[in-house]
Amino acid sequence: MALQRNGGEAIYSQIAKPLKEEIASFLTPGERLSSENELAEPFGVNRHTIRRAAGELIADGLLEHRHGKGTFVLDAPFDYSLGRSTRFTETFESLGKTASNCILHKPAIPARGGIATRLRLAENDPVAWIESLRLADNRPICVIFHFLPRQIFPDLLAEYHEGSLHEHLSTRYQLKLRRVESLVSPALPMRRCLAAGHAPEPARAAGEKRQCKRAGRNPARVRPDPVSRRRIQLRINP
C-alpha cells in the first residue's frame, strides 16, 4: 500500500485501514497479530507507527494488547437486547450460538442487606444463592448471581444442576418471571471461573449483570453484581 506522507491523514491512520481489512479477511478471534516489526516492514515505517495504528483498532474494539504476549483479535460484539422477558439462552440461540452455563457455587445463606431488601425478606431468612457462568459457543459471556427465597423454592438447590434456571423455575414452580430492572457493569474473571476452566482472556472484562425479576407481586430472584470497585453501572428498566 502506498502511503500518502504529505496528505492530511496521519500515517498510522492510513495503516489502520488495511490492517482492519486483513483482520476481517484472514484472522479469527483469539488469533495473534504479527509482531510490530513484521507489520512495519511492508509499510516502510517504524514499529511505533504500527503501535499507533493498532491502537486505533484497539479503541474500536477489534484488537486487544496483552502485556508480554502480543496483540490479539477480539470477538465481534453481541447484540443483546434487554426486555421484560429476555432470556440468555433464547437470545444467543437466535444469534446462531449454543448457550450453556456452568454452576460455580450454590450454597444456602441468610438474607442480609440489599439482598433481604430486594427480596422483601427479613434479615437472616434463608436464601438459595446460585452463582453461574453463562457461555455462548463455550466462550464465557457473563457471571450471574441468583438469590432466591427458600420458602418459595425449598428444593431448588437439590434439584437444579444444569441448564436454564429460568426454564427450571417456570417448569418446576409454574412461575412466569418478568424483568423489572437490570444493572450492568464490567468485571474481570473471578477465581471460581478460572478454577472451572472457563474465563475470558485476562485483559478483557466480562459483563456482569444484576437483575430483579418478579413473579406476580413479590420478587422471586435477584441477580446482584459482585463488582465492588466499579466506576460506572448501567441501570436498565425495560
Do 216 and 120 share a structural domain? yes
Do 175 and 68 share a structural domain? no
Q: Rounded mean pLDDT of 56-65? A: 90
pLDDT at 202 over 60: no
Q: Rounded mean pLDDT of 107-126? A: 92
> What is the grid cell recorded at 37?
516489526
pLDDT for position 136 = 86
**DSSP secondary-structure letter at 116?**
H
158 domain-assigned: yes
Per-residue pLDDT of 135-188, as tens digits, reads: 888 888 888 888 999 999 999 999 999 888 888 998 998 888 877 777 777 766
Residue 62 domain boundaries = 11-73
187 domain-assigned: yes
Q: How many domains are contained in the chain?
A: 2
Do 96 and 60 share a structural domain? no
2 domain-assigned: no
Q: Rounded mean pLDDT of 105-111? A: 93
Do 224 and 126 share a structural domain? yes
On average, the pLDDT of the chain sits at 80
Do 163 and 53 share a structural domain? no
Do 97 and 67 share a structural domain? no
Do 111 and 213 share a structural domain? yes
The DSSP secondary structure of 205-234, one letter per residue, reads PEEEEEEEEEETTEEEEEE----SS-S--E
Q: Rounded mean pLDDT of 35-63? A: 92
pLDDT at 56 over 60: yes
Do 135 and 69 share a structural domain? no
- The predicted model scores a pTM of 0.63
189 domain-assigned: yes
In Å, what is the CA distance from 40 to each residue of 19, 137, 219? 11, 35, 58
CATH number at residue 20: 1.10.10.10
Per-residue pLDDT of 67-106, as tens digits, reads: 889 999 988 777 777 777 778 888 888 888 888 888 988 9
